[in-house]
Structures are given as structure tokens and as C-alpha cells.
Amino acid sequence: MIKWAPYLFVRIIVCFCAGILCQIYGGSNFQPLPLLIALFSVIFLVFHVAGTLRASLIFISLAGFAGLIVIFLLGVTITYQRTASNSADHLLHQKQPIKYYTGVISDFVVGIHL
């Protein structure tokens, strides 16, 4: 058995955070991500079923790696979706020149005067 195999959440968090960091610093294209997530999910299911039916450790291990790739791709996808500059109504995507910008203050700031 691999020494770090019992630490399931560590593996999941490391892959998810790697996906987030990859999107932040790499800036990948979003278009193939849903297809890749679906593809590796199907690969995961095939390996998992094959590993369960044949009681094969290699298939179960490959299913685990495919699952971790899915977690990585989900981190990339969620980061892409939550980044404001990727939204269609962001200021970066305006075609006409911007004359003014209106901001809304939703809370007040309490300053400490010394």
C-alpha cells in the first residue's frame, strides 16, 4: 500500500488546489474543460467498474488517478467561473469607451482617530 493512501482528503485538496493555482497562474482556455471533465469521469467509472468486477488493484488505482484528474479539472473550472474578469459584463469587455463608473457603497468604514 502507498504510504499516503489513507489520507483521502489530503489528496483531494492537493489536486483541487493545484487546479486553482493552475488556472490563476496559467490562465487556461475554458472551452475544452467540460469535455475533459466528462471524459475523465467516464474513464473513472470504467476503471472503477472493471476494478471491482475483476478485483484488480491496477484498475482501482487507475480509477483513483482519473478521479484526481477530475478533481483537478473541477478546481480549474470553478476558479474560471468565479474570476470576475471572465464574466461577459466585466469592464474589460466593454466595446465603447467608458465615460464614468458608478460605485455602490454597501457598508460604512469606521475609522479610528488617534
Mean pLDDT of 58-81: 91
Residue pLDDT, tens place only, 36-55: 999 999 999 999 999 888 88
- Structurally, the chain folds into a number of domains equal to 1
Given a cut of 80, whether residue 72 has pLDDT beyond it is: yes
Residue pLDDT, tens place only, 15-24: 999 999 998 8
In a domain, 34, yes or no: yes
In a domain, 22, yes or no: no
In sequence order, what DSSP letters do the residues of 62-90 get, joined into one string?
Answer: HHHHHHHHHHHHHHHHHHHHH-GGGSTTS
Domain that holds residue 40: 29-87
In a domain, 16, yes or no: no
- Helix or strand holding residue 27 (H, E): none
In a domain, 1, yes or no: no
Distance CA 25, CA 73 (A): 15
- What is the reported pTM? 0.74
pLDDT of residue 1: 47
Given a cut of 90, whether residue 97 has pLDDT beyond it is: no
Mean pLDDT of 62-75: 93
In a domain, 5, yes or no: no
Coil, helix or strand for 19? helix
In a domain, 71, yes or no: yes
pLDDT of residue 89: 74
